[in-house]
Amino acid sequence: MECYNKFADIYDELIRGDINYSLWGEKINQICDKHNVVKKDYLDLACGTGNLTINVGKKFMSTTAVDLSQDMLTIAQEKLRNSRIRAKLLCQDISLLNLRKQFDLITCALDSTNYILKNEDVINYFNAVHNHLKDTGIFIFDINSEYKLKNILGDNVFNYDDDDVVYIWENEIENEILNMYLTFFVKEGQVYKRFDEHHRERIYSEKFLEELFVKVGFEILEKLDNYEEDTIEDKTERIVYVLRKK
């Protein structure tokens, strides 16, 4: 698993215009209601700075959040406290999850599953989720689709400049892994400080994942296009799965 480092400090600013966590949280809660999920114990995997954790967790009695980055968890903890949500935050690799507790809802959003690169790790990840899920609970997660990673991000270069943060983002695909090389320049006073990040996402086919669900012991309850439509198109960029134990 990759781990965000200095990126944690500017993460929210960069995704602010792209992700509506309030709408995502509302949709997830609607899905829970539809499938009669008891809103007691909630677990958010790869929680980042806690944006989804807050929007979903406020409907649950107990909230737990896990991330590999301590920097992300520090920011999430402050946000949760300010939102008056009592939550337990843990620094763990989600492919090695070990909480000794089961949950009514588990989420893993914003293509965090794509960051799991090895077959062994992704199998361990789904098995761990299965073990931590109550029999009546559901697991909701999303992936960047094969189409998006190959055709939208692909071997392309992007840039961003809002005066306070400037970045250059270069991508290349190798052996079904998208390598993302990011160079940031963050304004501090009158100067810009540079730091570099290397992120990798695995290109997962729907066929591969859905065969894995069967092996692990999940059934697909729903399959959504970006937390909205229930029809997946050829050019769907974010696929959302809703799973339950068989």
Q: What is the pLDDT of residues 171-224, one digit of tens each?
A: 999 999 999 998 989 888 888 889 888 999 999 999 999 999 999 999 999 999
Percent of the chain whose pLDDT exceeds 90: 80
pTM of the model: 0.91
pLDDT at residue number 6:
57
Q: What is the tens place of the pLDDT at every residue in 64-84?
A: 999 999 999 999 999 999 999
- What are 42's strand-pairing partners? 63, 105
**Domains of the chain, residue spans:** 6-144+204-245, 148-201
Name the residue among 75, 71, 60, 68 with its Cα closest to residue 25. Answer: 60
pLDDT at residue number 2:
46
Average pLDDT, the chain: 93
pLDDT at residue number 172:
97
The CATH fold of domain 148-201: N-terminal domain of TfIIb (2.20.25)
How confident is residue 1, by pLDDT bands cut at 50, 70 and 90? Answer: very low
CB count within 10 Å of CB 81 equals 12
How confident is residue 24, by pLDDT bands cut at 50, 70 and 90? Answer: very high
Check pLDDT > 80 for residue 15. no
CB count within 10 Å of CB 67 equals 30
pLDDT at residue number 193:
86
pLDDT at residue number 163:
81
Scan for tokens 């215009």, then name that residue.
17
Q: What is the tens place of the pLDDT at every residue in 134-148?
A: 999 999 999 999 999
pLDDT at residue number 165:
86
CATH top-level class of 6-144+204-245: alpha beta
Name the residue among 115, 1, 110 with its Cα closest to residue 49. Answer: 110
Percent of the chain whose pLDDT exceeds 70: 93
pLDDT at residue number 233:
95
Check pLDDT > 50 for residue 149. yes
Check pLDDT > 50 for residue 32. yes
- DSSP alpha helix (H) spans, the chain: 11-15, 21-34, 51-57, 70-82, 119-132, 146-147, 206-216
pLDDT at residue number 7:
61
pLDDT at residue number 186:
84
Residues in contact with 185: Cβ distance below 8 Å, sequence separation at least 6, in sequence order: 165, 166, 167, 192, 193, 194
